[in-house]
């Protein structure tokens, strides 16, 4: 009889353990969906632990495990005595900091001005799909912007936004707000790719940057994804004499540690 009781006890423990794992997975999936869908934008405060405990009817240990997993995934950050918040993406990699063009111009002591040249909503072209990897016929918002320093063209920004991933971008006023700033404030991402190339300015690019055709330009490209879905692809063209890239790192970071 004692042996049978012990067997029933083990089965009950296994069932409880499985239920705990299932609840943990459900809570994490719920929170991730809110973050990755954009329902909770960068900087949004996650409910406090006691609020999540009451909402899901679970122990503090379960909630703490969920939040710790989201921190490790880079989706949230925990601030002492303040709570947990959706992490704000940063324009930085281990090798290169993607420049904030406005801040860069202002740091040089120059007056900054931004111009939206064109904003076009369209079905993705073949070239669009090569840049942003959306499905054939998917809607995209194509933006062409110019950054001006002391009334002289400083950089040309050519950006695509995947509207299936970011539908609210279709109604945003990008004549008043920089697209990159708007995206960082409204759309969380968890994967990015940077690419740096050099290219001669073609006639259209040269005219918009007020440089001779064929001028050597530095082109910084960036793509971001959320949950595997593309968000944006941007190329920023700088005349070669107007941009300097500096990376500082230690031997440990260079070795990937």
Interval 179-209: pLDDT, tens: 998 988 777 776 788 889 999 999 999 999 9
Distance CA 28, CA 103 (A): 36
Q: How confident is the model at residue 37 (pLDDT cuts 50, 70, 90)?
A: confident
CATH of the domain at 205: 3.40.1410.10
Domain that holds residue 174: 101-254
Distance CA 130, CA 18 (A): 44
Task: For residues 128 and 240, state if they share a domain.
Answer: yes
Comparing 223 with 240, the larger pLDDT belongs to: 223
How many structural domains compose the chain?
A: 2
* Residue 82 within a domain: yes
Task: For residues 131 and 231, state if they share a domain.
Answer: yes
pLDDT given at position 20: 56
* Residue 96 within a domain: no
Task: For residues 112 and 230, state if they share a domain.
Answer: yes
Task: For residues 73 and 169, state if they share a domain.
Answer: no
* Residue 93 within a domain: no
Domain end, chosen from 63, 86, 109, is at: 86
* Residue 107 within a domain: yes
pTM for the structure as a whole: 0.65
Domain end, chosen from 38, 61, 86, is at: 86
Query: What SS3 state is found at 217?
Result: strand
- The residue with tokens 């405990």 is 53
Task: For residues 201 and 241, state if they share a domain.
Answer: yes
- Identify the CA nearest to 115 among candidates 174, 184, 203: 174
| Burial (Cβ within 10 Å: 0-12, 13-18, ≥19) of residue 180 | buried
pLDDT given at position 186: 79
Task: For residues 74 and 105, state if they share a domain.
Answer: no
Task: For residues 38 and 133, state if they share a domain.
Answer: no
* Residue 92 within a domain: no
CATH of the domain at 9: 1.10.10.10
pLDDT tens digits, residue range 85-123? Answer: 998 765 444 445 556 899 889 988 999 999 999 999 999
Task: For residues 82 and 112, state if they share a domain.
Answer: no
Task: For residues 136 and 185, state if they share a domain.
Answer: yes
**HSE-CB for 192 with a 13 A CA cutoff:** 21
Per DSSP, the residues of 129-195 read HHHH-PPTT-EEEEEEEEEEETTEEEEEEEEEEETTT-GGGGG--TTTS-HHHHHHHH---SEEEEE
> Does the structure show a pLDDT above 90 at 32?
no
Q: How far is CA 138 from CA 78, 129, 230, 231, in A?
A: 37, 9, 11, 12
């Amino acid at each position: 009889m004692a042996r049978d009781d012990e067997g029933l006890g083990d089965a009950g423990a296994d069932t409880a353990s499985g239920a705990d794992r299932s609840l943990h997975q459900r809570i994490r999936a719920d929170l991730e969906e809110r973050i990755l869908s954009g329902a909770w934008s960068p900087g949004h405060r996650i409910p406090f632990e006691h609020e999540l405990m009451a909402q899901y009817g679970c122990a503090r240990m379960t909630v703490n495990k969920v939040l710790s997993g989201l921190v490790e995934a880079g989706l949230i950050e925990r601030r002492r005595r303040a709570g947990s918040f959706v992490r704000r993406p940063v324009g930085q990699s281990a090798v290169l900091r993607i420049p904030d063009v406005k801040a860069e111009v202002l740091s040089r002591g120059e007056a900054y001005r931004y111009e939206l040249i064109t904003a076009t909503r369209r079905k993705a072209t073949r070239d669009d799909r090569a840049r942003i990897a959306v499905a054939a016929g998917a809607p995209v918002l194509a933006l062409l912007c110019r950054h001006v320093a002391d009334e002289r063209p400083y950089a040309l920004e050519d950006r695509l936004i995947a509207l299936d991933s970011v539908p609210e971008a279709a109604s945003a006023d990008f004549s008043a707000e920089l697209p990159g700033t708007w995206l960082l404030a409204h759309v969380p991402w968890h994967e990015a790719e940077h690419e740096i190339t050099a290219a001669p300015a073609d006639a259209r690019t040269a005219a918009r940057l007020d440089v001779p055709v064929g001028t050597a330009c530095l082109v910084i490209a960036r793509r971001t994804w959320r949950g595997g879905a593309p968000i944006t692809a941007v190329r920023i063209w700088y005349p070669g004499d107007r941009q300097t890239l500096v990376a500082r790192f230690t031997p440990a970071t260079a070795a990937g540690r």
